[in-house]
Amino acid sequence: MLSIVALLSACRTSTSFLLTSQDAVAGRGLPRHISTSKCIRTKRALSDQSYITSIRSQNLAGAQSSRSDNQIVIDFQSGMTAITGETGSGKSLFVARALEVVTGGKGISAALLGGKNSERAKVEEPVVVELELSLRGHYLNAAKSFLKTIEVDVPSTGLILLRRSLVMQQGRRVKSVCHINNQQVTLKALTAFSRSLVTVVDASTAAAALSKPEARLAIIDSAVSPDLLVEVNEAKRQYRQARRKREAIERELKKRVLPSSFVQSDDDENVELMNHWIRELGVFQDRVELFRGRVATSIEQMTEVHDAILRFAESDWDNDDEGAMYESFMDFRDMIVSLDEQLVAAQNARDALAALSSDQSAITAIEKTRSFIMDSLGSGDHGKASTRSLQKATERSHELLNAVENALHACSKFIEDDEKGLIRTIESLRENCPFSLEEVDSLLIDWSSLARKHGIIPSSLPTCHKSLKNERDGNVNAQQLLPAAIAEEQAKLSTFLCVASKLTLERQQVADELTSSVTSRLPLVGMERSIFTASITPRGDTPNSDDTIDFLLLHRYADDEKKAADGGKMNEIASSGEKARILLCVECELPGSVAASYAVERAKKEDETEAELVGLPPIAIVYDEIDAHVGGRAAVAMGSMLVEQSKWSQVIAITHSASIAAAADSHIVVQREHPVAHKPSKKNTTMNAVSVEDTARRKELARMASGDIAKDEAEAFAEALIREAMKAKLVN
C-alpha cells in the first residue's frame, strides 16, 4: 500500500490536507519543515501520542471470524506492536491490505472481495473495513480543519472512525461507500484524509521502486523544505507558460502567407502598394462574406441542410488559417452542380418511361408490343386460322400488358407530379439553395485570379489578407510580441534555474546527512564494512531535466583497509536482505520517505489530486515484513531501531522474527481456527486476532524461533529475548 507521508491540512480544496505556514507560526499547526539534524529530538513532540486504535474488517477475502458479528478486530496501543502468526494466517491481509482498502486504495483485487472468482461477494454481504484513530494536539487541529471543509464533525475526544464498504457489481465493477465518523464522504476525501496519517512500508515494493530515479528523488525531497519545493514548482510552471507563449507566437508567424512579390520595406511606395493589396482583398472579402451571409440566412428556411452548406456558412475569412473556407466553398459549388445533374437525371428517367415522342421510351415499347400481339392473331384469311385457345392467350397478354402500362403511368406520375416524388424532391432541395452556379463561379473566378496575382494557392488568400494587414500595422506579433515573449521566457528561465539551484543545494545537504546517518547505522544491522552514499547529479542549466539521485553501496575489504571500497548502485548490487536493512535505516532517518518513493508511481497510475509532501512523520508506520531475508544480529538490530522509532510514532511490525517481536511493547497473534470435528478447509476455517501476554506471548515467540522443536528450550530462549529487550529499553 502506498501512503502520503505527511499530515495535510485543509487548504485550496477539500481534497488537500495541508498545513499553512501561518498556522505553524501562530502555533495552531505543525511546522512545515524539520531538518534532519533536528528530527530526533522533535519526533515525540510532533506525534502527540496520536495512533491507530483498531482495524476492523468484515468479509475481507471471504474470511470468517469466530466473533458473533463476523468481524476480525485488531486493537492497538501506542508504541510498537508486533503482528505475528503462522505463514498464511492473514497477518498482512488484515493489517496492510485492510489499510490499503480503508485509505482509499484503487485497483482492489477480486480476491479481497471474497475469493478468486468473487462468488462470495454478494450485495447483502459487502466487504467492510474500519479504521479508528486517536488524534491529539496538532494532528487533531489539522483534522478538524480538513473535516470542517467537508462538513464532518470531530468529537472532542479526538476519535476518528473511517469506514469503507465495497460491493462487487455486475461487470466486476466495485462500488465504494465511504464514511468518516458515520457521515458519508467521497472516496477522494477519504483518501486525502487517511493516507496522510498512515504509512505502510512494503519492503519488496519499496525496493523495486528504488530502481526508479523519481522514487529516489522523492526520498530526498521528503526532507526538503516544502516552501522551497512549492517555489521551484511555481517557477517551473511560469517558465513553461512563458515558453508556450513564445512558441504560440512563432507558430502564428509561420502561418503568415504573403504575396510572392512582397518585399519588406518601410518606404512610402511599398506601403502604398501594400495598402492597395489590402483594399483590393478587403473588397473581395466583403463580396464573399455577403454571399456567405445569404447562405447562412437561407439555412433558416431549409427543412434539410446539406453538410456542404453548413460548412461554408460556418467558415470565417478572418480566422481561416487552414484554408478551410475555400475548400468548403468548392464543396458548396460541387453540391449545386450535383443537384442540377440529379434533376436532369430524374427528368430523363421520366422521359424514358412515358415520352411518346421518344422511340426509346418505355411507353413507345409497350405500344409496339401491343401491335405485335395483335399481329399474332393474324388478319384477313390468316385470322381464320386462330383458335379459341390462341384468342384467350392473346387476351391474357393484353391484360398483363395493360397492367404494365398502368404501373408505368403510375411510376411516371410519381416521378413527375407527386409532391414526394423524385423530381419534386430534388427541385425542393435545389430551391432550398437559391444560388445559381453562375454566381458561385463568378466568385471562384475572381478568387483564383487574386490568388494568381499574389502567387499563392486560392485556399491561402484569406491568410494572405490577414498577414498583409499585420505587416501594414507594424506586424505586432513579429516586431513586438515575439521579442517581448523571448525576453519574458529568458527571465522566467533565469528565475527557475536560480531557485532550482537552491533546491539542488538543499537536496545535497539532505543527501550528505542521509549518507552520514545511514552509514553510521549500518554496523548496527550487521553491515560493518559497508558504506552507503546518496549521490546527487545536478540538473545543470537544462530546464526540462531534474537532479538525479543514486544510492550507492560500497564494501570495504577486510584484509586490506587501504584498498578502495568496491560496489555500485544499490538497486543493482544489493541483496534483498541488504536492501531491507538499508530501507529501515533510511526510514529511521527520514520518516515516511520510503513510502513517498513509491507514492510517486502510484500518483501517476491513479491520477490522484496533487498533494504536497512535507517533512513531518505520520502518526503510524506499518512495516510489512521489513525483516524478510534478515536474521541473527541484524534482526536484533532492526528490532532496536523499530523501538527507537516507536518513541515518536506508532510502529506496527508484521514480522516472522522472534527477535523483532520480542522488542515490541505489545504483541498480537493472527490465528486460523478449525473446529475439532472437521478437517481444515476454507469453509469451516475462522480467523481471529488475539493480544498475547506473559505465557501466551512466550509460547508464540518460542514457536517463531523453533516451531515445534525443543519447546521447553525454545520457551526459555523466548523468555531471554523478552528480558534482554526490556533491559535495552531501560538503558535507552
Tell me the pLDDT band of 33, cut-offs 50, 70 and 90.
very low
Q: Considering only residues 648 and 42, tell me which one the structure prediction assigns the higher pLDDT.
A: 648
pLDDT tens string 624-677: 887 776 777 778 888 888 888 888 888 999 998 888 999 899 999 998 876 655
Residue 259 pLDDT > 80, yes or no? Answer: no
Region of poorest pLDDT, from 398-407, 678-687, 722-731: 678-687
Residue 11 pLDDT > 50, yes or no? Answer: no
Residue 121 pLDDT > 60, yes or no? Answer: no
pLDDT of residue 171: 61
Give the percent of the chain with pLDDT over 90: 20
pLDDT of residue 561: 59
Tell me if residue 28 falls in helix, strand or coil: coil
Q: Which amino acid is at 265?
A: S
pLDDT of residue 265: 57
pLDDT of residue 8: 28
Region of poorest pLDDT, from 135-144, 333-342, 563-572, 619-628: 563-572
pLDDT of residue 6: 29
> Rounded CA gap, 655 and 660, in Å?
7
Residue 489 pLDDT > 60, yes or no? Answer: yes
Tell me if residue 164 falls in helix, strand or coil: strand
Cell readout for 392 is: 384467350
Q: Considering only residues 670 and 580, tell me which one the structure prediction assigns the higher pLDDT.
A: 670
pLDDT of residue 268: 64
Confidence (pTM):
0.57
The pLDDT of 269-289, averaged and rounded, is 87
Q: DSSP of 557-622, one letter per residue? A: -SS-TTSPPEEEEHHHH--HHHHHHHHHHHHHHSTTHHHHHHHHHHHHHHTPPP----S---SEEE
Tell me the pLDDT band of 179, cut-offs 50, 70 and 90.
very high
Region of poorest pLDDT, from 118-127, 333-342, 527-536: 118-127
pLDDT of residue 48: 54
pLDDT of residue 467: 81
Nearest to 593 by CA among 224, 228, 220: 220
Q: Considering only residues 260 and 279, tell me which one the structure prediction assigns the higher pLDDT.
A: 279
Highest mean pLDDT: which range of 565-574, 615-624, 662-671: 662-671
pLDDT of residue 36: 40
Tell me the pLDDT band of 114, cut-offs 50, 70 and 90.
low
Nearest to 60 by CA among 12, 94, 29: 94
Tell me the pLDDT band of 419, cut-offs 50, 70 and 90.
confident
Q: Which residues pair with 507 in a beta bridge?
A: none
The pLDDT of 49-66, averaged and rounded, is 84
Tell me the pLDDT band of 521, cut-offs 50, 70 and 90.
confident
Tell me if residue 433 falls in helix, strand or coil: coil
Highest mean pLDDT: which range of 97-111, 291-305, 334-348: 334-348
Are 262 and 472 spatial neighbours (Cβ–Cβ below 8 Å)? no
* pLDDT, mean over the chain: 78
The pLDDT of 617-629, averaged and rounded, is 81
Tell me the pLDDT band of 119, cut-offs 50, 70 and 90.
very low
Cell readout for 277 is: 493589396
pLDDT tens string 180-224: 999 999 988 898 888 778 888 776 766 766 778 888 888 888 888
Nearest to 630 by CA among 622, 620, 638, 618: 638
Tell me the pLDDT band of 18, cut-offs 50, 70 and 90.
very low
The pLDDT of 542-552, averaged and rounded, is 84
Are 44 and 156 spatial neighbours (Cβ–Cβ below 8 Å)? no
The upper half-sphere exposure of residue 376, i.e. CA atoms within 13 Å in the direction of its Cβ, equals 16
Are 688 and 673 spatial neighbours (Cβ–Cβ below 8 Å)? yes
Tell me the pLDDT band of 47, cut-offs 50, 70 and 90.
very low
Residue 701 pLDDT > 70, yes or no? Answer: yes
Region of poorest pLDDT, from 21-35, 493-507, 627-641, 692-706: 21-35
Residue 125 pLDDT > 80, yes or no? Answer: no
**Residue 351 neighbours by CB distance under 10 Å:** 18
> Rounded CA gap, 290 and 284, in Å?
10
The pLDDT of 60-73, averaged and rounded, is 78
Are 169 and 127 spatial neighbours (Cβ–Cβ below 8 Å)? no
Region of poorest pLDDT, from 20-34, 462-476, 700-714: 20-34
pLDDT of residue 123: 46
> Rounded CA gap, 476 and 253, in Å?
10
